[in-house]
Amino acid sequence: MRTHASPTFVLIPGAGGSAFYWHRLAEELTGRGREAVAVDLPGADDSAGLAEYADAVVAAIGDRTRIVLVAQSMGGFTAPLVCERVPVDLLVLLNAMVPAPGETPGDWWENTGQPQARAAYAASEGRPAGGEFDALVEFFHDVPPEVTAAVLARREPDQSGTPFEKPWPLERWPDVPTRFLQGRDDRFFPLEFQRRVVAERLGIPVDEMPGGHLVALSRPRELADRLETYLL
């Protein structure tokens, strides 16, 4: 088995499952001498649920050790399943959904009050509350234009509804050191909403940094800096 002098960052994307989401952060981390493994999930596969997503992450990890698992958004449902199967040194939830035992990802939204929190935050910024989702407004508002263009030039990843239908299978959170890092400018999962959900479900504080929901695209250097501090 290989051994690594430094941790390997394994990066789990959110809905759509595209590893490309992480390309700027991965470049930043590798430039610092770290290994970064961005995982593609089978998001478009109607036969794939959370178990198959976890399979994809475990396969990507292979025989690597000293794993720092970083999970974005919907990846918060997959990462704990991975922690039950392979040794993980640290789990970092980034602008993530935090599941409760037996909860489906489809029920998470109403259970947590996310639609109301999203609408209230929009109103506080003077935007229409409760309107149709607009990715440019809610996801890409702080992403550099050239990065947005590069992302949008790619085929938009499809996300099957299958993983939203089955209950999250764990009875409790895995016994793995866990940090929660939230972009304070996230319009989709507002900071105060996340503070409440994380306190209720994990009982840990929320760390914050500048940036919106796609912080790995908007602020990869600052995000890498924050991840590095968790290794100290």
Write down the pLDDT at residue 5: 58
In this prediction, residue 199 carries a pLDDT of: 98
Indicate whether 2 belongs to any domain: no
pLDDT at 34 over 50: yes
Q: Which residues pair with 11 in a beta bridge?
A: 38, 70
**Token pair recorded at residue 33:** 């001498």
Mean pLDDT of the chain: 95
Question: Nearest-CA neighbor of 21 among 157, 146, 113, 129?
Answer: 157
Residue-wise pLDDT tens digits, 99-158: 999 999 999 999 999 999 999 999 999 999 877 899 999 999 999 999 999 999 998 788
Q: Does some domain include residue 100?
A: yes
Check whether 214 has a pLDDT greater than 90.
yes
Within a domain: 47: yes
Amino acid in the structure at residue 36: A
Q: Is residue 191 part of a domain?
A: yes
Tell me whether residue 108 is in a domain: yes
Q: Residue 105 is part of which domain span? A: 8-229
pLDDT tens-digit profile of 149-207? 999 999 878 899 999 999 999 999 999 999 999 999 999 999 999 999 999 999 999 99
38-71 residue pLDDT tens: 999 999 999 999 999 999 999 999 999 999 999 9
User: How many CB atoms sit inside 10 A of residue 63's CB?
Assistant: 8
Spatial distance between the Cα atoms of 37 and 22, rounded to a whole number of angstroms: 9
Question: Does residue 3 carry a pLDDT above 60?
Answer: no
The CATH number covering residue 105 comes to: 3.40.50.1820
2 pLDDT band (50/70/90 cuts)? Answer: very low
The count of structural domains within the chain is: 1
User: Is there a domain that residue 18 lies in?
Assistant: yes
User: Using CA atoms, how far apart are residues 38 and 25, in angstroms rounded to an integer?
Assistant: 9
Asked, for residue 102, whether it belongs to a domain, the answer is yes
The reply to whether 167 falls in a domain is yes
